[in-house]
Amino acid sequence: MNSVWALLASIALIRTTLSNYLPEKLRLYISARFEEWTRRFNTDETMVFKDYQSSKMNQLFQAANLYPGESLPTISIPRVTVEKTENVRNLTFSMEKNTEMIDVYENIPMKWKYFSEYSQGMSKHEIRWYELSFHKEYKSLVTKCYLPYILERANKIKERNRVVQLHTAAHDFWTPKPVIIQHPMTFETLAMDGNLKKELVEDLDRFMNSKEYYQQIGKVWKRGYLLYGPPGIGKSSLIAAMANHLNFDIYNLNLSAVSSDFVLQNLLLSTANRSILVIEDIDCSIKFQNRESGIEQPIKYQQQNKVTLSGLLNFFDGILSCCGEGKILVATTNYKDRIDPALLRAGRMDMHIYLTYCTFSAFKQLALRYLEISDHSLFHHIQKLLPKVKVSPAEVAGELMKTRDPKASIEGLIKHLEEKLIADGNSEVSPKHHSSLSQTSNCQVHESSISLPLACNGASMDNVKSSGPKPDVSVKSKLTADGEGDNNFEKTDLVRDRSSGHNILQVIEDMEKELLSYKEAIIALQKKLCRTLNKLAEIKATI
């Protein structure tokens, strides 16, 4: 025991002597050589990832903060920190300070340790860092494969846990506190033409998986979509479905609120990677002249324009659009022809998507979602009515939601479509009259300019419902195709009537009443035919 104390005393004396009498450079050299000598007997190597590097957040520290947490719920560790905030979808797990865990990569153990302490001095702040230890023979594998793998996995974890947020521009800047979007619309629940929906989803997925391909061909990794069609047919719902499908934030930009091209450029630069920039009603938010239309833009609009067409074109695919990656631009309009063609070309608007009123394909998707049926005996009525009625998918969905009973729900929708058909000035056309109407549907018809015969295509007036009571007379009255009454009575009929005590004047009055009732029915039919012809002419003009 005395020898041990003697040895320790000798070491302390030697250390004190070296510290007091040897020059500082010599002491540092001896210390370095000693550490190098002891390192030969140590087989592990350690990397340190500090939270901040040169006053900027260290990406490797952020990745290390996310990556180990994915494995923490499945391994045995004494203490684990669990968090859940409104800005993330799932629970997040992280290591408690001064704890360690083992990760296995390519059958090689990787030891992670987490440390935290407060700095000394007047302004105390927390200093955090991770230490990664591994066998030194795997150093090349760690630097070339393991660390890039951690960065990639951390980005995927971040994207998966991130909630979709809505950013709006105010006073030439994006609002500092975005709003969390909780829109439930997805492509599975979106009522849209099946083929068009499939084409759009495939295009989005192909774009997301083509980062390396875009780099290979020398193009900026971005995509542009133009959504156009009548108002109220689901353009905003489609944007929400795109954002939920990609898990991208939405930046909603109103061009009329942007003060200059310079501000527009700054807004573009401050949008995050992997986000959707939306310009709704691009033809209305700012008055851009369609240079191919040949129409001079009013001077008042020229004075009001703060963002120029040139500035917007540079915004779409100029040099500033190269800043960032994975960005998607979506522009909406009700009138595609009002937009300058320069904005619509490939590279700016790569895919043009026309959204129309509810189709039978979209209705079947709604019926499957709301009523859980894929077919019904009343579907053929819907299939006939939908091409004739301008109704949005949201309106159809509203009718289907009124009751859970499939038959009652579809009957209610049929009634709604028929009422809308009548309100729009349409009417059902009998098949036997379809051919004659189609021949005249290329003209704009007015009620005052039409003269109809009393019967068409050999149809007798017995098929025309009179609005008044039909008099009970014994005199035969037949209407010909020319509309003239065949009132040739046999003398024997008059003699028979006179002998039976009937007054001939009463017979004539009854005939006049019957003809007047027929006249009223003809006028009603005439008005209905006029409305039908006008509607057919409008439909043909749009084809």
Angle 508-512-513 (CA atoms, 0-180°, nearest 5)?
Answer: 120
Cα separation, 166 vs 252, whole angstroms = 7
CB 327 within 8 A of CB 225: no
- Specify the pLDDT at position 199: 94
Cα separation, 110 vs 146, whole angstroms = 10
172 pLDDT band (50/70/90 cuts)? Answer: confident
CB 166 within 8 A of CB 250: yes
176 pLDDT band (50/70/90 cuts)? Answer: confident
- Specify the pLDDT at position 348: 85
Q: Which two tokens stand for residue 443?
A: 């003209």
Number of alpha helices (DSSP H) and beta strands (DSSP E) in the chain: 20, 18
Strands (E), 229-339: 249-252, 275-279, 327-333
pLDDT reading at 297 higher than 60: no
Cα separation, 446 vs 431, whole angstroms = 23
Instruction: Average the pLDDT over 140-154 and give the result.
Output: 90
* Closest C-alpha among 222, 460, 455, 446 to residue 346: 222
What percentage of residues in the chain have a pLDDT greater than 70? 73
CB 183 within 8 A of CB 234: no
Instruction: Average the pLDDT over 241-267 and give the result.
Output: 88
Instruction: Average the pLDDT over 416-443 and give the result.
Output: 54
Instruction: Average the pLDDT over 135-161 and give the result.
Output: 87
- Specify the pLDDT at position 209: 92
- Specify the pLDDT at position 458: 36
Cα Rg of the chain (Å, integer)? 41
Cα separation, 363 vs 375, whole angstroms = 11
pLDDT reading at 158 higher than 90: no
Cα separation, 449 vs 445, whole angstroms = 7
Question: Would residue 492 be called left, alpha or beta, if left means φ above 0 and alpha means ψ between -120 and 50 degrees?
Answer: alpha
Q: Which of 1-10, 121-130, 231-240, 430-439 has the lowest mean pLDDT?
A: 430-439
- Specify the pLDDT at position 156: 83
Buried b (16+ CB within 10 A) or exposed e, 494-505: eeebeeeebeee
Q: What is the dihedral of CA 47, 48, 51, 56, to 10 degrees?
A: -70
Q: Tell me the pLDDT tens digit for each residue of 14-41.
A: 767 666 666 767 767 777 776 666 666 6
Average pLDDT, the chain: 75
Cα separation, 228 vs 217, whole angstroms = 30
> Beta-carbon neighbour count of residue 218 at 10 Å?
6
CB 68 within 8 A of CB 103: yes
Q: Tell me the pLDDT tens digit for each residue of 451-489.
A: 333 333 333 333 333 344 444 433 333 333 344 444 444
CB 393 within 8 A of CB 356: no
User: 99 exposed, middle or buried (CB, 10 Å; 0-12, 13-18, 19+)?
Assistant: middle
What percentage of residues in the chain have a pLDDT greater than 90? 16
Cα separation, 253 vs 393, whole angstroms = 26
* Closest C-alpha among 278, 190, 180 to residue 238: 190
What is the end-to-end Cα distance of the chain in Å, rounded? 108
Domains, the chain, in order of start with CATH, read 44-161 (no CATH), 165-289+306-354 (3.40.50.300), 360-423 (no CATH)
pLDDT reading at 183 higher than 70: yes
Q: 205-214 contacts: CB < 8 A, separation 24 or more? A: 207/328, 208/246, 208/326, 211/325, 211/326
Buried b (16+ CB within 10 A) or exposed e, 251-264: bbbebebbeebebb
Cα separation, 491 vs 163, whole angstroms = 94
Q: Tell me the pLDDT tens digit for each residue of 101-120.
A: 888 888 888 888 888 888 77
4 pLDDT band (50/70/90 cuts)? Answer: low
Q: Pick 460 or 186 by higher pLDDT.
A: 186
Q: Which two tokens stand for residue 45?
A: 């190597």
Residues comprising the chain, all counted: 543
Count of alpha carbons within 13 angstroms of residue 45, beta-carbon side: 12
Chain centre distance of CA 169: 20
pLDDT reading at 356 higher than 60: yes
- Specify the pLDDT at position 116: 86
Q: Which two tokens stand for residue 340?
A: 């300058």
Q: Pick 262 or 40 by higher pLDDT.
A: 262
Q: Pick 203 or 288 by higher pLDDT.
A: 203
Q: Pick 26 or 135 by higher pLDDT.
A: 135
pLDDT reading at 500 higher than 50: no
Q: What is the dihedral of CA 351, 354, 359, 361, to 10 degrees?
A: 0
pLDDT reading at 450 higher than 60: no
Cα separation, 297 vs 504, whole angstroms = 77
287 pLDDT band (50/70/90 cuts)? Answer: low
- Specify the pLDDT at position 354: 92
Instruction: Average the pLDDT over 358-370 and give the result.
Output: 89
Q: Which two tokens stand for residue 70?
A: 């994915």
Instruction: Average the pLDDT over 331-341 and give the result.
Output: 88
What DSSP string runs through 131-146?
Answer: EEEEEGGGHHHIIIII
Instruction: Average the pLDDT over 129-133 and give the result.
Output: 89
- Specify the pLDDT at position 224: 92
Q: Which helix (H) or strand (E) holds 412?
A: helix 406-423
Q: Which two tokens stand for residue 256?
A: 């009329």
Q: Specify the 3-state DSSP secondary structure of 471.
A: coil
